[in-house]
């Protein structure tokens, strides 16, 4: 089976299983997508996966202009439905943990935000399951995150780690048909205006051919930015990253 067929089969299998790999990714981008997908029936989820594969295949074959993409999406009703749902108001449910921590640190911060935005129901709640309560919205210490993530990757793939810069680590490891290069970006101690905690991209030289840098989430047309990493889920996050990288290698490699 070629790469396109492997990716299509993976999306379908994940849809049939309820998207377990996506559910383990502590990302507000992923959480928004899953909120839309959870509104579909089981059969619709599988159909969505097939429709998304058609869109990804078309975009891979030839870059689509915005009008051409919009026209194609209009012919893929479940993709259109999910994309439309992803444009809904963010509320608190889809805020990164750093943003939530800043709000929680202010007097009446969370409650004031709910009142100001007139939020109710799930929109007024935390980004569960990664952050099950506002009290749990404590960002993981960057140094501990880096240590646990790199240890988990070395345990799974071996290889060598190179520090590229203060916020970028690179792992080079042998894979069955060649070599993998994995770049992992970590945020520093300063919260700043961004909610970034960790992002990653990987490429592989397989059978003498260099793959385009990508990430597991790209199979679902999502960015690989993890911003829901807390002191409580940091071990689970470190254990999950090797799983999605192995899945990407199985599909793309």
pLDDT of 191 reads: 44
Residue 9 or 61, more confident: 9
Mean pLDDT of the chain: 91
Output the six-digit token pair for 184: 């992992």
Local structure of 169: helix, strand or coil = strand
| Residue 70 exposed, middle or buried by CB count within 10 Å (0-12, 13-18, 19+) | exposed
Q: Tens digits of per-residue pLDDT, 193-235?
A: 467 799 999 988 877 777 788 999 999 999 999 999 999 999 9
pLDDT tens column, 135-171: 999 999 999 999 999 999 999 999 999 999 888 999 9
Closest CA to 215 of 247, 185, 167, 171: 247
**3 state SS of 191:** coil
189 against 20, higher pLDDT: 20
Look at 164 and 189; give whichever has higher pLDDT.
164
pLDDT tens by residue, 59-74: 888 888 999 999 999 9
Distances (CA, A) of 50 to 7, 42, 120, 158: 10, 13, 34, 35
**Percentage of the chain modeled with pLDDT above 90:** 70
Given pLDDT bands bounded at 50, 70 and 90, which one contains residue 23? very high
């Amino acid at each position: 089976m070629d790469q396109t067929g492997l990716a299509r089969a993976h999306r379908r299998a994940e849809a049939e299983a309820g998207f377990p790999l996506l559910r383990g990714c502590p990302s507000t981008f992923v959480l928004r997508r899953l909120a839309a997908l959870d509104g579909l029936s089981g059969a619709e989820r599988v159909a969505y996966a097939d429709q998304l594969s058609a869109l990804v295949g078309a975009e891979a074959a030839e870059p689509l202009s915005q009008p051409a993409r919009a026209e194609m999406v209009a012919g893929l009703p479940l993709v259109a439905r999910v994309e439309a749902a992803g444009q809904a108001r963010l509320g608190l449910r889809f805020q990164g943990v750093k943003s939530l921590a800043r709000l929680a640190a202010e007097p009446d911060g969370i409650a004031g935000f709910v009142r100001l935005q007139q939020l109710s129901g799930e929109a007024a709640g935390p980004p569960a399951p990664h952050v099950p309560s506002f009290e749990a919205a404590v960002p993981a210490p960057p140094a501990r995150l880096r240590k646990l993530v790199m240890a988990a990757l070395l345990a799974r793939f071996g290889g060598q780690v190179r520090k590229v810069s203060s916020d970028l680590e690179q792992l080079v490891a042998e894979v069955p048909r060649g070599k993998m290069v994995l770049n992992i970006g970590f945020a520093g101690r300063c919260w700043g205006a961004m909610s970034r905690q960790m992002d990653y991209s990987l490429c592989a030289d397989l059978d003498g051919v260099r793959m385009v840098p990508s990430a597991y989430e790209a199979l679902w047309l999502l960015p690989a930015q993890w911003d829901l990493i807390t002191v409580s889920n940091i071990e689970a996050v470190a254990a999950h990253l090797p799983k999605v990288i192995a899945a990407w290698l199985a599909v793309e490699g």
